């Protein structure tokens, strides 16, 4: 389910200056991550005006508005102010006209301002809003940053997912979420995972209880969010089942409509699962960079067979 974001939350998250806006204006909901740059609207053309979007004014819009008569400028800005308009945002620290302030105050709409360039500000606004407003689902597992790779550890209850994550943290890696991972699509191919607010920085270890990872290991041991790039599924080892010994079986799993590579690791007494997960992450990274140990082994085996056949 998508979350809601208010204008004051946006201002706080991106460090935007509040030029004007009372409590009612700052509590308006932003319902879309799309940003509008009102060009035609300043000329009086409102047939396709996106009234429910943030209205971003850069140098072009401000300069054009400055050339208008005061009465005309006030009339146009008033038409841009609707009950659904979240806020007006000014880039480059540009001066806000008295007419814009008057119109926005009349309609209880906040005006925010940033010192950065328009294109950069538009990118930051879109990235933040798309992340916050994206529909979310949650999956059971532990998300860990292993060598900069987002590894989601899943498996049966009680198999040792949290204990494995704790050992990875002790080895210098970072915890993102334990037990419940909230995921959302950043784009068609990118899945982002983050902790539920109530479980942020916390991990449950059977026999000990809830521990605060950031408090025990420091701020460098946790991270707020991470792209989910690899799923490691821990399953109980059984003698009857045959396991992939060469790593040639490429498996995937669908999470949030995104296909993610998956590795299944059998767990039994004596196996150091944390180190295996660590190596699995490094091996996956090597594959994405073009080196595949399995293919190298198969190539060596083929050459050996050919050499022996020629004898």
161 known ligand binder: yes
Tokens 């080892």 map to which residue? Answer: 237
Nearest-angstrom CA–CA distance, 54 and 82: 11
Q: Which of 67, 239, 242, 245 is catalytic?
A: 245
155 known ligand binder: yes
Q: Is 255 exposed, middle or buried (0-12, 13-18, 19+ CB in 10 A)?
A: buried
241 known ligand binder: no
CA atoms within 13 A on the CB side of 297: 7
Q: Which of 28, 161, 174, 201 is catalytic?
A: 161
119 known ligand binder: no
Reply yes or no on whether 179 is catalytic: yes
> 61 phi and psi, to 5 degrees?
-70, -45
Reply yes or no on whether 161 is catalytic: yes
Q: Which of 78, 92, 136, 179 is catalytic?
A: 179
Nearest-angstrom CA–CA distance, 163 and 142: 10
Reply yes or no on whether 201 is catalytic: no
117 known ligand binder: no
Reply yes or no on whether 182 is catalytic: no
> 77 phi and psi, to 5 degrees?
-65, -35
270 known ligand binder: no
Nearest-angstrom CA–CA distance, 203 and 175: 9
157 known ligand binder: yes
Q: Which of 120, 140, 171, 303 is catalytic?
A: 140
**Tell me, what DSSP letter sits at residue 219?**
G
CA 282 to centroid of chain Cα atoms: 22
Supply the Cα-derived Rg of the chain in whole angstroms.
27
159 known ligand binder: yes
- Binding-site positions read 155-162, 204
- Binding-site positions for Mg(2+) read 162, 204
Active-site residue list: 140, 161, 179, 245
- Binding-site positions for ATP read 155-162
């Amino acid at each position: 389910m998508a979350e809601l974001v208010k204008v004051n939350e946006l201002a706080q998250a991106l460090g935007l200056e509040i030029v004007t806006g009372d409590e009612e204006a700052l509590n308006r909901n932003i319902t879309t991550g799309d940003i509008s740059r009102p060009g035609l609207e300043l000329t009086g053309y409102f047939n396709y005006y996106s009234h429910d979007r943030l209205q971003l004014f850069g140098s072009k819009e401000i300069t054009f508005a400055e050339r208008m008569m005061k009465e005309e400028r006030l009339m146009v800005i008033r038409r841009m102010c609707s009950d659904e308009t979240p806020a007006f945002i000014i880039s480059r620290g540009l001066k806000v006209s008295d007419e814009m302030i008057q119109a926005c105050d009349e309609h209880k709409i906040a005006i925010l301002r940033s010192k950065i360039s328009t294109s950069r500000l538009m990118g930051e606004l879109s990235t933040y809003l798309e992340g916050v407003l994206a529909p979310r689902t949650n999956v059971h597992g532990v998300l860990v940053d292993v060598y900069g790779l987002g590894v989601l550890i899943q498996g049966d209850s009680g198999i040792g997912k949290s204990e494995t994550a704790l050992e990875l943290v002790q080895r210098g890696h970072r915890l993102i979420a334990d037990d419940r991972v909230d995921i959302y699509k950043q784009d068609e191919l990118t899945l982002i995972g983050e902790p539920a607010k109530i479980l942020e920085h916390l991990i449950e270890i059977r026999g000990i209880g809830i521990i605060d990872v950031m408090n025990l290991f420091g701020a460098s041991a946790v991270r707020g969010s991470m792209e989910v790039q690899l799923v490691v599924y821990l399953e109980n080892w059984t003698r009857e089942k045959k396991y992939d010994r060469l790593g040639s079986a490429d498996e995937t799993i669908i999470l949030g409509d995104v296909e993610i590579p998956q590795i299944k690791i059998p767990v039994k007494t004596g196996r150091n699962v944390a180190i295996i997960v660590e190596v699995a992450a490094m091996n996956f990274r090597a594959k994405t960079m073009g080196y595949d140990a399995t293919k190298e082994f198969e190539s060596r085996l083929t050459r050996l067979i050919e050499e022996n056949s020629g004898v």
